[in-house]
Amino acid sequence: MNSKDFREQGYRVIDWVADYLENIEKYPVKSQVLPGDTFSQIQEDPPIRPEPFDSLMSDLDEIILPGITHWQHPNFHAYFNGNSSFPSVLAEIITAGIGAQCMVWETSPAAAELEERMMQWFIKTMNLPSEWHGVIQDTASTATLAALLSAREQKTNFDVNNSGFQHNKLRVHCSTETHSSIEKGVKIAGFGRDNLVKVETNDQLAMDSSKLESRIQEDLENNLIPCCVIGTIGTTGTLAIDPIEEIGNIAQKYKLWFHIDAAYAGSGLILPEYYHLTQGFDKADSYVFNPHKWLFTNFDCSAYFVKSKETLLQTFEILPEYLKTKTRGKVNDYRDWGVPLGRRFRALKLWFVFRSFGLDGIQEKLRNHIALAHWLEEQINDHANFELLVPRVMNMVVFRYAKETFSEEELNIKNANLVQQLNDSGAIYLSHTKVRGKYALRLVTGQTTIEMRHVRKAWDLILETSQDI
Ligand SMILES: Cc1ncc(COP(=O)(O)O)c(C=O)c1O
């Protein structure tokens, strides 16, 4: 493909994306293909000769699209949304076109400096502590791994980095509702899964901080070394918010690294009405949230912040001859701020999103998403056969069909059937969780183009389907 062909096909591809997004409501939200359907349609060997772009585009429509779950569909209410936007997609095309590998400042100074500024914009607009330093990671899982590694090194005076893991008594505390990425990080970072302590939660499924302190004391009595505690703002199951200030006080008292995982709900902090949630952030050592979930920035883009840049750098720094530059120490070489050496130019899409929407535009959309969830919450509260299982937080509603005549066991089966039937319909897609043993539907209203009509449609369908289960 030469640049003339690229220009021609490029316009066509942009048209394809625009058509796809304009017509997205025609597709079943959740892909309906069966395991192996796509695989069997892809030729066993790569082509020897170049193929015309036309045949690629027709295979895209015929083979790939049926196997896509449409995350940008306004009736995608499952998991947490990974919403995108036109400005973000355009920036992504430019990023790919530039094709820069932004491992050190010199390999693209603008990428490094735009990244620094974007992280400062988050600090300013989200009421985060002004002394924090930010860096973009691919995902929250990677950011949390960076936090665990930094915690390990700080506690062992960088001994594990130098001599290997001989401290098999280092303990990490989180709540029973914490995301699985914490357990994964604990395994990878060498703490050992047995040293992850899952602290009990209260009625709201938020960490019980008095239990946290007892578990830490038990560790100390047993000659174990508490090292890190992880609090969550917006748990995956129910968006529960851990008591950040109380956890922060305990972390300071016992000299623990305090990491906050706000992967989803962190985007909500761009609304001043949620600034109160940042109380206690001054006691945290690290913090992560994902603009790629609820900030109109296509996957992947995770914002990670630390109090001590020095500890982060000392944990990850490595300096082979070929990476030595004259600007070292005077600029941010982001390869030292996390696991990978190579880095994509992700800051560009944040810049495009911020400038195209404006802060007002972003805030208006988020407030609308929250209002839609509030409307749904009211419908559930007003309906005799449905109940909320936890109070709504931001734009997620956790509820179940709960007709009184059925036992708890029957309700669990009926609600599981309800989720299955709704998702099989292709009209909407939602996911489930369990709240103290009760099978619950979990509906998020966070898509870029979602409107009231989509939430009404979801609710009507839930009511209708609940008659059949
Ligand atoms: C609370 C929480 N933390 C972490 C993650 C992991 O995010 P990522 O896919 O960016 O690693 C998720 C994913 O949904 C999450 O809900």
> Which pLDDT score is estimated for 36?
97
> Which pLDDT score is estimated for 318?
87
3-state secondary structure of 419: helix
3-state secondary structure of 286: strand
> Which pLDDT score is estimated for 126?
98
Mutate to test the pocket of ligand 1, among 232, 264, 300 (most ligand atoms within 8 A of CB): 264
The set of residues, in sequence order, having a beta carbon less than 8 Å from that of 296 and lying 6+ positions away, is: 83, 84, 85, 87, 88, 353, 357, 362, 365, 448
Q: Please give the full DSSP string across 396-407, using - where no structure is assigned.
A: EEEEEE--TTS-
> Which pLDDT score is estimated for 18?
97
Can you tell me the distance from the alpha carbon of 32 to that of 111, in angstroms, rounded to the nearest whole number? 40
**Per-residue pLDDT tens digits for 91-100:** 999 999 999 9
> Which pLDDT score is estimated for 321?
87
> Which pLDDT score is estimated for 322?
86
Can you tell me the distance from the alpha carbon of 348 to that of 95, in angstroms, rounded to the nearest whole number? 7
238 C-beta closer than 6 A to ligand 1 = no
| CB 25 within 8 Å of CB 73 | yes
Could you give the residue ranges of the DSSP H alpha helices within 226-346?
244-253, 291-294, 309-316
95 C-beta closer than 6 A to ligand 1 = no
> Which pLDDT score is estimated for 323?
85
> For residue 233, what are its two tokens?
């703002």
| CB 205 within 8 Å of CB 437 | no
Pick out the chain residues at pLDDT < 70: 167-168
Closest CA to 436 of 459, 456, 464, 411: 411
Residue 34 gets which letter from DSSP?
Answer: P
> Which pLDDT score is estimated for 311?
97
How crowded is residue 267: how many other Cβ atoms within 10 Å of its Cβ? 31
CA of 264 to the centre of ligand 1 (A): 7
| CB 296 within 8 Å of CB 72 | no
pTM for this structure?
Answer: 0.96
Fold classified for 100-344 = Aspartate Aminotransferase; domain 2 (3.40.640)
> For residue 97, what are its two tokens?
């076109």
> For residue 261, what are its two tokens?
């995982």
CA of 146 to the centre of ligand 1 (A): 14
147 C-beta closer than 6 A to ligand 1 = no
| CB 211 within 8 Å of CB 243 | no
CA of 181 to the centre of ligand 1 (A): 7
287 C-beta closer than 6 A to ligand 1 = no
